[in-house]
Chain A
Amino acid sequence: MSRDPVIVGIGLSDAPKAPHLDSVGHHVQAIQRALADAGIEKRAIDGYLCAGMEGGSAEAVAMAEYLGIDHRYVDSTMTGGSAFEFHVQHAAAALRDGLCETVLVSYGSDYLSRRGRSLGTGAFRGGFAITGPDLYQAPYGLSLVGAYALVAQRHMHEFGTTSEQLAQIAVGVREFAGLNPNAMYRDPITVADVLASRMIADPLHMLDCCVVSDGGGAFIMTTAERARDLRRAPVRVLGAAGAQTHWNIGQMRDYTTSAGAKCIPEAFARAGVRASEIDTLQFYDSFTITVLVMLEDAGFCKKGEGGAFVEAGHLRRGGRHPLNTDGGGLSALHSGMRGLFLIAEAVRQLRGEAGAAQVPDAKLALAVGSGGFLSCIGAVVLGKD
């Protein structure tokens, strides 16, 4: 029991627009805030994990040098946006095994300020020498949005899922964004607004797609025993699991099912909980379809019934399983890899610190990250002590 992994501190950097910070700056600010939140000295950190999309701020060993962290456990696992759910899994195992005592996980990206709003529509490797598996995709001009559109199109074909049902996800998440002063977009939207927004890649409209922002985050994990001496009530990591079915979208085996079908039930089993018991969902909402597929894979409803489940309002504020209570990637915060923010928001909910967006008496939260193109799914069940 005493070496059970817990989260004892979280921090977010300035967002959604922070031209005064570069990617390392986002890491540093988020880390300083997480350390202060936990009441832990930096020198106590002996495990460090990070992931990112660019150079120095992506590699844990380079960041550890910059930050001055003398670690005993280090990990740069990069599964795309779900990397931080995998990090929780790895850090939890390392803590249980006594490889380290206090783990820091951090992320930072200046995506919006550095590169503008290009994320999501650019071609794969356009204009460069094409090698490896890209040879079989790059010449066709599939965009990132288009990759997820392949999933949405097939889901609609097989199960009769509608654009209106997908839009409900964006509408519900936007309602929460309205409660978050740091959200990128806060004005309420309707299903009609989503359907009237520009078609980017059929059947996905602009409002089916996540925002592009700046932002970083950090969290600190330790053992339940160590957490007794800290100022904050710990949030327990009850179960974590990850799985991969492909990396390139052209290799997805079943275009309506993700690796979440394998790892989310595994995370539930490890935690000893059922889907119906989860109080709030923090799901990687890169696109509305991402949520729908993972929702079904998690077992909240049967495969193909996600559209009706969403339409019933279960993911809305006041519903059975409120989704993305910070406003999600769809409306609030998406700097390229959203996985860390899922953990931070789940912790905020379980601490009862979510203000107007608070899910009453939230005891169990599920964070599910999607990396690549529904390729690498990481699931984490968190619980109140």
Chain B
Amino acid sequence: MEVVRGQKWERGKLAPGALDRHFFEAAARGELLFQRCPACNHRQFYPRLLCTACGANPVWETASGRGTVHTFTIIRQNGMPPFKDLLPYAVAMIELDEGVRMMGNVTGCAVEQVRIGLRVEAYAVESGEGLAVTFWRPAR
């Protein structure tokens, strides 16, 4: 996925532990990761030390970065900075083509165009210290 670099990051300081750091460092390289269980093939997100289905140790997989809006909302009231200056904006649960779901903002279109079923693609935005956060926009 594309990585947007050098933009000012104001959405909070990410303080990931080792496992989470791996995910955010990969995003900064343009790779979107999720986990799969080698024992039972269960796929999961967010990353964990164990498979939530069978308890075995999951491995990382790279996602295609494409997915579909499963559900969403348009936030029209939020008093917290920096979000109060970004209103209105869309927050969605994206169902990746690989089957796991991730939360994210859908950008790059008017909020009125966001709908369930919309095809989207991931991009990453640098958040400092070699990490990047995933966002989504309508698939090209």
A141 touches B15 (CB 8 A): no
A198 touches B77 (CB 8 A): yes
How far, in whole Å, are A141 and B10 apart by their CA atoms in the complex? Answer: 11
Query: What's the nearest-Cβ distance from chain A to residue B1, in Å?
Result: 16
B101 touches A250 (CB 8 A): yes
Query: What's the nearest-Cβ distance from chain B to residue A163, in Å?
Result: 13
Q: Is residue B102 contacting chain A, with contact meaning CB distance below 8 A?
A: yes
A201 touches B133 (CB 8 A): no
B116 touches A142 (CB 8 A): no
A150 touches B74 (CB 8 A): no
How far, in whole Å, are A344 and B89 apart by their CA atoms in the complex? Answer: 40
A122 touches B80 (CB 8 A): yes
A139 touches B127 (CB 8 A): yes
Chain A contact surface mostly: mixed
How far, in whole Å, are A203 and B90 apart by their CA atoms in the complex? Answer: 12
B17 touches A201 (CB 8 A): no
A202 touches B73 (CB 8 A): yes
A128 touches B102 (CB 8 A): no
CB-CB contacts of A14-33 with B at 8 A, as 1s and 0s? Answer: 00000000000000000000
Query: What's the nearest-Cβ distance from chain A to residue B34, in Å?
Result: 11
Q: Is residue B12 contacting chain A, with contact meaning CB distance below 8 A?
A: yes
Q: Is residue A2 contacting chain B, with contact meaning CB distance below 8 A?
A: no
A200 touches B76 (CB 8 A): yes
Q: Which of A129-137, A231-239, A299-307, A330-338 contacts B (4 or more CB under 8 A)?
A: A129-137
How far, in whole Å, are A149 and B72 apart by their CA atoms in the complex? Answer: 8
In the bound complex, residues from chain A placing their C-beta under 8 Å from that of B46 are 133, 135-136, 250-251
Q: Which of under 10, 10 to 19, 20 to 34, or 35 or more describes the interface residues of A?
A: 35 or more
Q: Which of B24, B80, B102, B116 has the most CB of A within 10 A?
A: B80
Nearest residue (CB) in A for B106 is A140
B103 touches A137 (CB 8 A): yes
How far, in whole Å, are A128 and B72 apart by their CA atoms in the complex? Answer: 25
A122 touches B78 (CB 8 A): yes
Q: Is residue B6 contacting chain A, with contact meaning CB distance below 8 A?
A: no
B16 touches A141 (CB 8 A): no
Q: Is residue B56 contacting chain A, with contact meaning CB distance below 8 A?
A: no
CB-CB contacts of A309-349 with B at 8 A, as 1s and 0s? Answer: 00000000000000000000000000000000000000000
The total of interchain contacts (Cβ-Cβ below 8 angstroms) comes to 118
Q: Is residue B70 contacting chain A, with contact meaning CB distance below 8 A?
A: yes
Q: Is residue B104 contacting chain A, with contact meaning CB distance below 8 A?
A: yes
How far, in whole Å, are A304 and B116 apart by their CA atoms in the complex? Answer: 17
In the bound complex, residues from chain A placing their C-beta under 8 Å from that of B133 are 139
> Contacts A135-B24, A153-B116; is A140 near B91 (CB within 8 Å)?
yes
In the bound complex, residues from chain B placing their C-beta under 8 Å from that of A203 are 73
Query: What's the nearest-Cβ distance from chain B to residue A142, in Å?
Result: 5
> Contacts A126-B81, A137-B103; is A146 near B13 (CB within 8 Å)?
no
In the bound complex, residues from chain B placing their C-beta under 8 Å from that of A125 are 12
B11 touches A143 (CB 8 A): no
Query: What's the nearest-Cβ distance from chain B to residue A287, in Å?
Result: 12
How far, in whole Å, are A198 and B16 apart by their CA atoms in the complex? Answer: 37
Q: Is residue B139 contacting chain A, with contact meaning CB distance below 8 A?
A: no
CB-CB contacts of B1-45 with A at 8 A, as 1s and 0s? Answer: 000000000011111110010001000000000000000000001
How far, in whole Å, are A250 and B70 apart by their CA atoms in the complex? Answer: 11
B91 touches A146 (CB 8 A): yes
> Contacts A131-B17, A143-B77; is A123 near B83 (CB within 8 Å)?
yes
How far, in whole Å, are A133 and B70 apart by their CA atoms in the complex? Answer: 20
Q: Which of A131, A132, A141, A204 contacts B80 (CB under 8 A)? A: A141
A-B interface, 7 closest residue pairs, ranked by CB to CB distance from nearest: A149-B73, A141-B83, A123-B80, A126-B80, A154-B71, A129-B15, A139-B11
Provide a sorted-by-A list of 5 A–B residue pairs whose CB atoms are within 8 angstroms: A131-B15, A135-B24, A141-B75, A141-B105, A150-B73
Q: A131-B20, A141-B91, A154-B116 are in contact. List 11 more A-B contacts (CB 8 A).
A: A127-B81, A128-B12, A131-B16, A132-B20, A136-B103, A141-B89, A146-B91, A198-B77, A199-B74, A201-B74, A250-B93
Question: B residues engaging A (CB < 8 A)?
Answer: 11-17, 20, 24, 45-46, 70-81, 83, 86, 89, 91, 93, 101-105, 116, 127, 133
